Amino acid sequence: MITHPRLSTAAPLAAAGITVLLWASAFVGIRGIGGTFSAGPLAPGRRLLIGTLVLGVLLLRRGFVRPSRRTLLLILLSGLLWFGLYNVALNAAERHLDAGTAAMLVNVGPVVLAILAGTFLKEGFPPRLLIGSGIAVCGALVIGTSTAGGRHGDLLGVGLCLVAAVAYAVGVTAQKPALKELPALQVTWMGCAIGMVGCLPFAPQLWTETAHASVGAIAGLVYLGVFPTAVAFTTWAYALARTDAGKLGATTYLVPLVAALLSWAVLSEVPAPLALAGGALCLTGVAVTRLRKRPAPVPILAKEPG
């Protein structure tokens, strides 16, 4: 089968766009139900009861591919850090910071990811990636400052966001090689299941809090498990298998912009006008990272007369 070049480029880009939208909504969702579910139990609630089950049902229809030992270790690392530690740290951070600020701080992660991908995955450090990342980081900082309303962020919340950012970057770097051997859906399910096991100590508290939760809070928990978890991590893995990790990671700089807009619409956290300028910088930075190097023009040889 011959795949059109534009289609092969558009599909991963569309998958990355879905991921960005759903991950941005997660910042708002976590903050929305943070008064009902505490930081620890919220993580297994998203992974254990919902995300793992949804992905498991889909995987049963496609079959399971046995991973090599090396790939299994990589997925184990990715699952514990990205699906486990990242979520617990982010959930705790959003008890101290607003959604926009948390999204901005977590998006330090793609910078770490670009460095790790260039070092360990041999993707290099193309100038467009470095320039675009720098522009997008400036945009993320502007958005975070504006949505914080001028307040100084809680130091504990800032620290937890940075922990989440590093956990994300290392987890993605470990996941990338595994996608060369296994289907994206299976890699996502395995990481989700491993993160679930790592969060099991919080399960009893989750049960207690769910028993006293409102219908709206439980619906929010279900949403976080199905969409920002099951759907978004699968579309991310699909895009990651077809795109450089550093370049794909840079697209997540759009998350603070989308999170700020959603927070405005859902939580009435109105972003300042300065956030729009930050959003424009984010878009510009992502666009720069996606630019392709133009091929050198083929010289036209003059035809000799006669």
Measured between alpha carbons, how far apart are the two ends of the chain, in Å? 46
Angle 48-258-244 (CA atoms, 0-180°, nearest 5)? 75
Q: What is the mean pLDDT of the chain?
A: 81
Q: Which of 48-52, 125-129, 151-155, 188-192 has the highest mean pLDDT?
A: 188-192
Q: What proportion of the chain, given as a percentage, has pLDDT over 90?
A: 23
d(CA 283, CA 244): 19
pLDDT at position 138 is 85
34 or 85, higher pLDDT = 85
* CA distances (Å), origin 19, targets 45, 182, 183, 189, 254: 20, 20, 18, 16, 10
Residue 291 in this model has a pLDDT that exceeds 90: no
pLDDT at position 77 is 95
pLDDT at position 121 is 77
**Tokens representing residue 62 in the block:** 């496609």
Q: Which of 92-106, 120-134, 159-173 has the highest mean pLDDT?
A: 159-173
Residue 72 in this model has a pLDDT that exceeds 60: yes
Taking the C-alpha atoms of 16, 194, 92 and 227 in order, what is their torsion angle to the nearest 10 degrees?
40
pLDDT tens by residue, 108-129: 777 777 778 878 877 777 888 7
d(CA 257, CA 54): 28
* Least-confidence region, from 78-82, 140-144, 214-218: 140-144
Coil, helix or strand at residue 50: helix
* Least-confidence region, from 51-60, 151-160, 274-283: 151-160
pLDDT tens by residue, 178-225: 988 998 889 989 998 999 899 889 989 988 999 999 999 999 988 998
**2 confidence band (pLDDT: 50, 70, 90):** very low
Q: Which of 95, 91, 104 is nearest to 146 (CA)?
A: 104
d(CA 241, CA 14): 14
* CA distances (Å), origin 149, targets 75, 146, 269, 274: 39, 6, 9, 11
The arithmetic mean of pLDDT across residues 275-293, rounded, is 74
Do residues 252 and 114 make contact, with C-beta atoms less than 8 angstroms apart? no
The arithmetic mean of pLDDT across residues 245-259, rounded, is 80
